[in-house]
Amino acid sequence: MDDVFRALADTSRRRLLDRLRTRNGQTLRELCEGLAMSRQAVSKHLAVLEAARLVTSVRGGREKFHYLDPAPIRELSERWIGQYESGGPNRPARWKRSLEEKPLMDKAEFVYEIYIETTPERLYEALTDAEFAQRYFGGWGPRSDWRVGSPVLWKMGPEGAYEDLGQAVIEAVPGRKLAYTWHRLQPMHRQLFDSEEEFESARTEQSQVAFDILPADPASLGVKLTITHDGFESAESEMLKGVSDGWVMILSTLKTLVEREAR
C-alpha cells in the first residue's frame, strides 16, 4: 500500500490516472498529447504507476496499451477512508468509467492482464466456483462441471436462474487455463440496434473467452491472469464493446476479493 500512496502523491501521475479513467487503453503517445511533459517523463510516471499496480499494460504489435486498475485505490479507500466515515458502514469506491473503450489495436478482440496476490490453484478455483463467481460478477456468472465439452450455464442477474445459452467448455486445466464459449446477444440487447434485421444478424456471432494463469514471480505469492476475449466479427461488435468495459471491473473486483481472503 505504501507504493500506492507514493504513486498518488504526484500530481502528474494523478493526471495520468484521470486520463485513463476517462478513456482506458491508451498508448504512450496518446497519453502524452496535451501534457506539458516529455515522452520520457510520462514513461517514467507510468512505470511508477505500474509498480504500484494502479496501471497495467498490454503489448499489441508495436504499441503498448495502458489500462487503469482501480482495485488498489478501492482497497486504500476502504482501509483509510471508509472506516472513518461517519453515519454508516464502509462503502467501496464507485468508479465511473467511459463507455467508449478502445479495443486493443482496434482488432476484434479484448486482451487484458492483471496481477493477483494468490496461488494459481486458488485463482482457478475462484474462476470455476459458481457461488464465488456471483460475488465478482455482481450477481451474474457461470456454472459448469468444467469438463471439456460440458455446457456452461449462465445466471442472468441476481434474481435469475441458471440458463443454457449455448455456451460450452473449450479447455480446463486446473491452475493454468480456463476457456469457454460466450453467450450470444440476448433480447435485452435489442435496443442497441437500429433495426430488427441488424439485431438478428449480430445474434449469429458467438465469441469465446480464455483465462491464462501464470506465476508472476516464483519467489513470491502472485500470479498473472491474462484474459483474451475474441472471435468477434469486427471491432465494432456491440458485444465486444460491452465486454471490454465489463471485464476490467469484474477482474478488479475478483482481485480485491481473492486478496482480501488471503489476509
Question: Does residue 132 carry a pLDDT above 50?
Answer: yes
Q: Give the highest mean pLDDT range of 5-14, 145-154, 253-262.
A: 145-154
- Residue 9 CB-density burial (10 A; 0-12 exposed, 13-18 middle, 19+ buried): exposed
The cell numbers describing 96, all together, are 465511473
The pLDDT assigned to 206 comes to 87
- What is the dihedral angle through the alpha carbons of 103, 109, 115, 120, rounded to the nearest 10 degrees? 170
Per-residue pLDDT tens over the stretch 100-118 = 333 344 468 888 888 898 9
The whole-number average pLDDT for the span 61-84 is: 68
Domains of the chain: 1-99 (1.10.10.10), 103-263 (3.30.530.20)
What distance in Å separates the CA atoms of residue 179 and residue 212, rounded to the nearest whole number? 9
Cite the DSSP H helix spans in 67-191.
71-80, 120-128, 130-137
CA distances from 241 to 22, 52, 101, 102, 246 (A): 15, 28, 7, 8, 9
- What's the 3-state SS for 198-251? HHHHHCCCCCEEEEEEEECCCCCCCEEEEEEEECCCCCCCHHHHHHHHHHHHHH
What pLDDT does 76 receive?
Answer: 64
Question: Does residue 109 contact residue 232 with C-beta atoms inside 8 Å?
Answer: yes
Mean pLDDT of 19-43: 86
Report the length, in residues, of the chain: 263
CA distance 52 to 6: 8
The average confidence (pLDDT) of the chain is 80
Predicted pLDDT at 252: 85
**pLDDT tens, position by position, 201-222:** 777 888 999 999 998 766 556 8
Q: How confident is the model at residue 35 (pLDDT cuts 50, 70, 90)?
A: confident
CA dist., res. 57 & res. 143, Å (int) = 30
The whole-angstrom separation of Cα 232 and Cα 208 is 8
Q: What is the pLDDT of residue 122?
A: 95
pLDDT at 92: 37
Q: At what angle do helices 120-128 and 130-137 cross, to 10 degrees?
A: 80
- Rg of the chain, C-alpha, whole Å: 19
Residue 230's pLDDT is 92
Residue 170: the pLDDT is: 96
Which has the closest alpha carbon to 227: 203, 206, 205, 243? 243
From the list 89, 45, 87, the residue with the least C-alpha distance to 66 is 45
What distance in Å separates the CA atoms of residue 42 and residue 26, rounded to the nearest whole number?
Answer: 13
Question: What is the band of 197 on the pLDDT scale with cuts at 50, 70, 90?
Answer: confident
